[in-house]
Amino acid sequence: MARKKNHDEDYVSLEEILEKIKRSRIPTLTLDVKWQSIFNTEDKSATIAKLEKQLLEAMKSQGRITNDKTDLKKVKKRLMKEIMENMNSPENSRAEKKVLKSKELIEDINDKLILLEDEELDIPHKIREINAELALESMSEIFDRYEENLEDIETLQEWVNETRIELKKRVMLLEMKKEENEKMDKYLSELIDGEIIRDYKRYREIEE
């Protein structure tokens, strides 16, 4: 039964729990082997699958930004080299125009690098936010599964106990039947000649 804040001083809202998770040092769940062993199944909720995808995309974007920055810096370096090589070119020459164009491209690259760096600074925060939401949702699903398992365990334990009792009864009955047959077989072999018993067995097989 859900607890209400005005009835329980220890009540903590989901929002407060989420903030506590964000401040705690938890691993990135999609990289955690133990998390994968629990949630790498088709049974996980649509919410967990969605958050898992968002977290993977955020992590990929971090790699993309690094690659984009590296590529832009390479182009910038090449343009800077071209400027240095042509900086003393005659006015209005083709080389001077190339220098001006290179400077424009470098300004454009600098703008893009600033945007990428801003985006890069936001990535860890974004990953932490999504990871915390995934942790909270994972905890919720684990509690649900745990409680369902407890109910199933109780039902199965009852079945096992009942089956064990029934099995014990059947084993006792089996032993009784075996003992009874051994007793009757011994009695007949002592009472009647073996040839007569064999003849009677053949008679029963034919008549039946």
CA distance 141 to 145: 6
Number of H helices, E strands in the chain: 5, 0
Is the pLDDT assigned to residue 168 strictly greater than 90? yes
Say what the pLDDT of residue 170 is.
96
Residues 140-153 pLDDT 10s: 999 999 999 999 99
CB atoms within 10 A of CB 82: 16
SS3 call for 13: coil
Residues 31-74 pLDDT 10s: 999 999 999 888 789 999 999 999 999 999 988 999 999 999 99
Is the pLDDT assigned to residue 200 strictly greater than 60? yes
Residues 103-131 pLDDT 10s: 899 999 999 999 999 888 899 899 999 99
CA dihedral 63, 64, 70, 75 (to 10 degrees): 170
Query: What is the Cβ-side half-sphere exposure of residue 158, based on CA atoms within 13 angstroms?
Result: 5
Say what the pLDDT of residue 54 is.
94
Say what the pLDDT of residue 147 is.
96
* pLDDT-derived band at 165, boundaries 50, 70, 90: very high
Domains delineated in the chain = 44-170 (1.10.287)
